[in-house]
Amino acid sequence: MTASATSVLGVGNILWADEGFGVRCVETLERDFELDEQVTLVDGGTRGLALLEPLAAAGRLILLDAIAFGGAPGELVVVRNADVPRFVGQKAMSLHQTGMQEVLALAELQGRLPKELVCIGVEPVTLEDYGGGLSSLVAAQIEPAVALAVDQLRNWGHHVTRRTRPLAEVTVNVGALQREPYERGRPSAADACRIGDARFMQRSA
Amino acid sequence: MSALRTANGFELDNSGRRIVVDPVTRIEGHLRIEVNVDDDNVIRNAVSTGAMWRGLEVILKGRDPRDAWAFTQRICGVCTGTHALTSVRAVEDALGIMIPENANTIRNMMQLAQYVQDHLIHFYHLHALDWVDVVSALNADPQATSALQQSLSPWPLSSPGYFRDLQNRLQRFVDSGQLGPFRNGYWGHPAYRLPPEANLMAVAHYLEALDFQKEIAKIHTIFGGKNPHPNWLVGGVPSPLNLDGVGAVGGVNMERLNLVKKVIDDSIVFTEQVYLPDLIAIASFYKDWTYGGGISAQNLLSYGDIPARANDYTANGLLLPRGAIIDGKLDEVHEVDLKQRDDIQEFVSHAWYSYADESQGLHPFDGVTEANFVLGPNTQGSKTRIEAVDEAAKYSWIKSPRWRGRPMEVGPLARFVIGYAQGKPEFKEPVDKTLTDLGLPLPALFSTLGRTAARGLEAQWAAHTLLDFHEKLIARIQNGDLTTASSLKWSPDTWPETAEGAGFTEAPRGALGHWVRIEQGKIANYQAIVPTTWNAGPRDAQGNIGPYEASLLDTPMADPEQPLEILRTLHSFDPCLACATHVLDAEGSTRSAVQVR
């Protein structure tokens, strides 16, 4: 079976702790797996309307994101097709005011919504740690989330094989921002304030 | 207070009803606006609050300065490339790194493409809905819409059938109940003036612009190696020129450069046949809506951008003008120097930060970013639920930047007026033509609509300038110059023990500066003043009010519970708060709450 074009899109802001989950998953997918040419990996960050391009280019889309859906901290969830927009709209915090829900609505209005859409989300533990990395609970879900993405890609007929050794140079995100150097190079709490305004930094229940 | 006159000459009166708009929608980040209106619903006091903590600078401490661009690219989702360019320029300035001619050309093309793309997105997706009533478009006659389109330009998407199909699509979208991008509109508001046909035409262009902005992004993908986060490089640009290559891998080849040319040509057509005609058509219905000028008729600032030649960052070497106009004197454009410690200073007397002496400002090289979230005695509500801020005390997470003690407006209007004042025909002629076409005098430029018009004219200028640089790049390649980066000072071994530098650009929404101090090969201090800091900043110790605040004064509101007029003027600045402050909307809601007290 020949697969049509698929994009795997990781979104969120890597500077805000667990918000970086989606991007880290895409990095890991590139590092550990060889994918056929029909699969495009995208580190979408918080690019809002700029994400219409990978969306329109894809017949099928896997979206990876940290979403406060009310699950247990670190819980993974998979949502499909028509359920995705409402689901990503629950996002309790977003740097990108043009959130994924709006991007999906615009794609629909344009008649360019991918014909299949799968969202793999994680319930974040903490977002209120500016300049920080993933919490351990969320970090532990990268591998399982990537495994779900791999299964989905194979179901769609893509050729996905685990690399015999991890790729030395991941390209989907620039080196200094990849998880290990980013987390290792973090300035101390004394040098860099990690919390902020009590009104806006509080987790919603 | 109840009534007073500010140092910069604005009459304020906070005795009337207080209206709170929080958050202001269709912008990046979290902005809160409070105004007082008089008995006739005219705005008599305005208070702009950046409602988030700002933390960009501190997380860069101790990092490799060659990586700073990548971090600054992640501050927000809008001007990613502009931050990256500013950052590499700051580091190059600190270390005395010269870049090759081709690198300058390619960086300019990235930046110019950003102007075209950002201005289009701003006009159609963030701002047009302040003038265009989407719901009214459902009542348009497709035949008449077609006639209207054909009277404005030769743009081919103009048949009655095209508009009928679009109207049906829109109707289905509205009927489905998920209004998406149109959810928070004040549809049917009396301040909307366009006939249904103009509304339908504008909605069509809203969708066409959404499609077209993706094409412009190809320029970023080609030169930056990837998108939506293109690569940048201290010392040049990262993607090599490789004329023998084919396809999208292995560097920039002729096939890619031809694609860039096509995108530029299409940008010129879209700007001239769609964007500018829409601007004039819409403006012609709002000619007497002359509000929103604020301080633009007094103080304007631009750092300039688009160096004609590599490494020449002098005012004369920049195609986008540099300079400052103060106290409304258009006959004198002052020189601007980012390193002049007395010129650019940030004050925190009304911002939630602390300085040792808050009557003084600090230049970014000496900048301090220490949070101090305290509320004034006249605040209503609590720290976690502010009902009304006390503008006599600290009230914003945005500092108050000042140039020679004055608040300055930055952005396309500032750039065009400075170019106009310098007598540069490429800025003066399109401004004069636009004013003539609309039958308006020069002072009409200093308004909400003037800001919006300048942005459109700049998109057209940028598209044509893109073409010039494309030709320059091709000519140099044909002469055998394929150099795109210099690695002479790549190694930290070649750097001095300590160094400091300033980098600047004109972001789409205005002057952007980064200041870096490097010690032993690492970042010791990093400060940024972003355009929205200039425009959205609060009052200062002298009581001068900021550009957003001043722009809202004296505007009449049809219905204070539906603050369309406030949105209209604020959106004309193209606010982008994610980097002016720093984040976090606990409710994640983009629905604007309006409270009348």
Q: Which residues of B22-41 are buried (b: 16+ CB within 10 A; e: fewer)?
A: bbbbbbbbbbbbbbbbeeeb
Please indicate, yes or no, if residue A135 is contained in any of the structural domains: yes
Q: How many domains does chain A have?
A: 1
Q: Which domain holds residue A14?
A: 6-201
Above 90 in pLDDT, residue B55?
Answer: no
Q: Which residue of B27, B52, B213 is in closest CB contact with A197? A: B52
pLDDT reported for residue B243 = 81
Tell me if B61 and A191 make a contact (CB, 8 A cut-off).
yes
A 131-160 residues inside an 8 A Cβ radius of B? 131
Pairing of strands B300-302, B380-381: unpaired
Above 90 in pLDDT, residue B241?
Answer: yes
Question: pTM higher than 0.95 for the full model?
Answer: no
Please indicate, yes or no, if residue A100 is contained in any of the structural domains: yes
**A169 interface with B at CB cutoff 8 Å:** no
Average the pLDDT over B29-54 and give the result. Answer: 86
pLDDT > 90 in chain B, percent: 78
A161 bridge partner residues: A34
Above 70 in pLDDT, residue B487?
Answer: yes
DSSP class of residue B387? Answer: E
pLDDT digits (tens, 9 = 90+) for A158-195: 999 999 999 988 999 988 899 999 988 887 776 665 55
**Rounded Cα–Cα distance for residues A2 and A62 (Å):** 18
**Cα-Cα-Cα-Cα dihedral sign, residues B163, B168, B169, B171:** positive
pLDDT reported for residue A188 = 75
Q: Which residue of A110, A198, A200 is in closest CB contact with B207? A: A110
Give the best residue of A97, A108, A183, A191 to mutate against chain B (max B CB count within 10 A): A97
**Rounded Cα–Cα distance for residues B366 and B231 (Å):** 30
pLDDT reported for residue B592 = 45
Tokens of B133: 């009533």
CB count in 10 Å sphere of residue B554: 16
Find the CATH number of the domain harbouring A94.
Answer: 3.40.50.1450
pLDDT tier at B178 (50, 70, 90 boundaries)?
low
Tokens of B353: 């930060």
CA neighbor of B293 nearest in space, from B544, B41, B552, B531: B552
Please indicate, yes or no, if residue A87 is contained in any of the structural domains: yes
Please indicate, yes or no, if residue A18 is contained in any of the structural domains: yes
pLDDT digits (tens, 9 = 90+) for B421-446: 999 999 999 999 999 999 999 999 99
The distance of A40 to chain B (nearest Cα, Å) reads: 11
pLDDT digits (tens, 9 = 90+) for B347-398: 999 998 899 999 999 999 988 777 788 999 999 988 778 889 999 999 998 8
Give the best residue of A18, A179, A199, A203 to mutate against chain B (max B CB count within 10 A): A199
**A91 interface with B at CB cutoff 8 Å:** yes
Residue at A156: amino acid letter: W
How far apart, in Å, do the first and last CA atoms of chain A sit? Answer: 46
pLDDT digits (tens, 9 = 90+) for A119-173: 999 999 987 777 889 999 999 999 999 999 999 999 999 999 999 999 988 999 9
Per-chain mean pLDDT for chain B = 91
Tell me if B71 and A176 make a contact (CB, 8 A cut-off).
yes
**Cα-Cα-Cα-Cα dihedral sign, residues B85, B90, B92, B93:** positive
pLDDT reported for residue B527 = 87
Q: Which chain A residues are closer than 8 Å to B80 by Cβ?
A: 45, 47
Please indicate, yes or no, if residue A1 is contained in any of the structural domains: no
Q: Which residue of B has its CA nearest to A90?
A: B588
pLDDT tier at A201 (50, 70, 90 boundaries)?
very low
Would you say B192 and B136 are in contact if contact means Cβ atoms under 8 Å apart? yes
B 321-380 residues inside an 8 A Cβ radius of A? 352, 370-371, 373
Would you say B487 and B61 are in contact if contact means Cβ atoms under 8 Å apart? no
Average the pLDDT over B171-178 and give the result. Answer: 82
Please indicate, yes or no, if residue A101 is contained in any of the structural domains: yes
Please indicate, yes or no, if residue A170 is contained in any of the structural domains: yes
Tell me if B181 and A102 make a contact (CB, 8 A cut-off).
yes
| E strands in B384-508 | 386-388, 400-403, 498-507
Q: Which chain A residues are closer than 8 Å to B75 by Cβ?
A: 15
Q: Which residue of B59, B211, B585 is in closest CB contact with A200? A: B585
Please indicate, yes or no, if residue A163 is contained in any of the structural domains: yes
Tell me if A110 and B210 make a contact (CB, 8 A cut-off).
yes
